[in-house]
């Protein structure tokens, strides 16, 4: 599903502002929302109350410059991609813009084709950044801690066990069979696993399976029943129960919520 993007154009020159607006409105033919502001102050207030996917701003404006505007929104909950426009080839402005993570620096007068290509690039970058952020948010923090410690366990029996679990999440895995595969009795394996991993075997396996399920929910359109099978659960009913116990919501609700954030 393609979601409407919001683009905010900021320039104190009405002719430039309206020219860009008309170009983008003609190009997107109502598929995206194009908004304008005549000053940096007005744009800051607008962005404080609603999100935008892309900010196109002139660098030199009275009272509140484009760079001041970009600095002001750095800590906003929802930060847009930014394109800076200028009628001057000023290297110091360009340097500051790069430090602030601006996607591109456009010199006026801006050619129509250059504008459209740069806007498309900026929207794509913003979409990728939101997708990455959404993926980072779904990572189980306990598994992140374990992954960092795992580097010292590569050639140990527990390291081998963790590698096996990673490669066979979609298959039945029992602690006894895993202990046998690394030549340890199950009681000692259980104690050693908890000591070196920080979680007992069953909780670790559950978290790994739910983590893989979250990735599949976000990255694919696979039905819940198929995802359940791919992460080692024989019935989707039991999978949903386990997922809810760990995440607090159902897999379908989770998919909807994360996809909404990243769209």
CA dist 87 and 2 (Å) reads 34
Question: Around 223, how many Cα atoms within 13 Å sit in the side-chain half-sphere?
Answer: 5
CA dist 35 and 17 (Å) reads 10
Superfamily of domain 6-129: Response regulator (3.40.50.2300)
Give residue 214's pLDDT: 95
What topology does CATH give the domain 141-262?
A: Arc Repressor Mutant, subunit A (1.10.10)
* Residue whose pair of structure tokens reads 């007068």 in the numeric block: 109
> Would you give per-residue pLDDT tens digits along the chain (263 residues)?
456 899 999 999 999 999 999 999 999 998 999 999 999 999 999 999 999 999 999 999 998 999 999 999 998 888 999 999 998 877 787 888 888 889 999 999 999 999 999 999 999 999 888 888 877 888 898 888 787 666 665 678 998 999 999 999 999 999 999 999 999 999 999 999 999 999 999 999 999 999 999 999 988 999 999 999 999 999 999 999 999 999 999 999 999 888 777 66
Question: Distance between the two ends of the chain, CA-based, in angstroms?
Answer: 9
Domain positions in the chain: 6-129, 141-262
Q: Would you call 190 exposed, middle or buried from its count of C-beta atoms within 10 A (0-12, 13-18, 19+)?
A: middle
Give yes or no for a contact between 118 and 106, defined as CB atoms under 8 angstroms apart: yes
Give residue 262's pLDDT: 66
CB neighbour burial string for 123-157, b if at least 16 within 10 angstroms, e if fewer? beebbeebbeebeeeeebeebeebeeebeebeeeb
Phi, psi angle pair for 147, to nearest 5°: -60, -40
Give residue 263's pLDDT: 62
Q: Structure pTM? A: 0.71
């Amino acid at each position: 599903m393609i979601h409407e993007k919001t683009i905010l154009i900021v320039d104190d020159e009405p002719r430039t502002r309206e020219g860009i607006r008309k170009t983008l409105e003609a190009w997107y033919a109502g598929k995206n929302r194009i908004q304008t502001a005549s000053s940096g102050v007005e744009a800051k207030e607008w962005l404080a109350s609603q999100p935008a996917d892309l900010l196109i701003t002139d660098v030199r404006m009275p009272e509140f410059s484009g760079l001041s505007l970009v600095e002001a929104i750095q800590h906003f909950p929802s930060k847009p991609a930014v394109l800076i426009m200028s009628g001057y080839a000023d290297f110091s402005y360009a340097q500051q813009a790069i430090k602030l993570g601006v996607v591109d620096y456009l010199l006026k007068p801006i050619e129509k084709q250059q504008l459209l290509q740069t806007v498309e690039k900026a929207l794509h970058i913003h979409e990728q950044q939101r997708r990455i952020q959404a993926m980072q948010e779904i990572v189980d923090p306990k598994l992140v801690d374990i992954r960092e410690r795992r580097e010292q366990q590569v050639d140990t029996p527990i390291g081998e066990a963790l590698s096996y679990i990673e490669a066979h999440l979609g298959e039945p895995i029992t602690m006894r069979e895993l202990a046998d595969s690394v030549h340890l009795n199950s009681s000692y394996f259980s104690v050693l696993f908890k000591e070196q991993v920080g979680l007992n075997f069953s909780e670790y396996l559950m978290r790994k399976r739910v983590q893989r399920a979250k990735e599949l929910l976000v990255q694919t359109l696979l039905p819940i029943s198929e995802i359940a099978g791919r992460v080692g659960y024989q019935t989707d009913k039991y999978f949903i129960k386990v997922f809810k116990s760990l995440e607090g919501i159902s897999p379908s609700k989770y998919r909807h919520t994360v996809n909404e954030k990243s769209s």
